[in-house]
A = this chain, B = another copy of it.
């Protein structure tokens, strides 16, 4: 069992009435338990919480007035990540649960339809199973240069495959795309994890469906994914943006810290927002 202490501070300059959709809270997910959490919105305002039942993603919606908006999420999360077996089989398509089938389909950032031949070329000859997804993960790690500032918010897996450069979400999108093209369901996971090298930030990895369960993979190999606190799960980055903003807004600040180990409970006396711990709170 492992404990993570998270702190996420987002600050925006809002030039006119704006609507925000945040996805920054630790998800409702079997592998993790939110021991305590605190959401502080400044200035104080009405906030709506909702949760996607299937994914466990938790969302916050709010209408911010002109001025500075500050959102601070603080949580202590216990992780119960079960060890991943060294080998797992792929599931034949016919054996996939109905609701997993849609994780085989291409999405905004993951053009698995265009990349079917290349996926077979690179990985079609390998024995089916977890080793094949590990091969995808290794191939990306060795083939794509990690370099911030090159790709854009519209960069897709196909672009990354051609240009060979990107950041964590680009790595994850390419992994998803190659898996789907091999008929292995795959999806994006974003979360908090402690990076050995600063700066701390959200992390994006991918998850593949093997032998009846989802297994995490991280082609960047920049952090220990068994210690990832899951925020969101989705088809690709469009489903799990940490902030989706409608209105004229400029980000001023994004400070994230992730501390690991068993921390004493935080002092809650300054909590401005009611806790949303557990589905009951929604």
Contacts and interface: CB of A to CB of B under 8 A. Distances in A.
Contact of A238 (B106, B153, B239): B106
Interface stretch (A81-89, A97-105, A201-209): A97-105
Interface string A12-35: 000000010100000000000000
A248 interface: no
Interface residues of A, number: 40
A183 B121 CA distance: 27
A165 B111 CA distance: 16
Interface in A102-119: 102, 105-108, 110-111, 113-115, 117-118
A163 interface: yes
Residue of A19, A108, A121, A161 with most chain B CB atoms under a 10 A cut-off: A108
B163 A117 contact: yes
B145 A102 contact: no
Contacts of A214: none
A269 interface: no
7 contacts: A50-B98, A61-B94, A105-B244, A107-B108, A115-B163, A117-B163, A158-B162
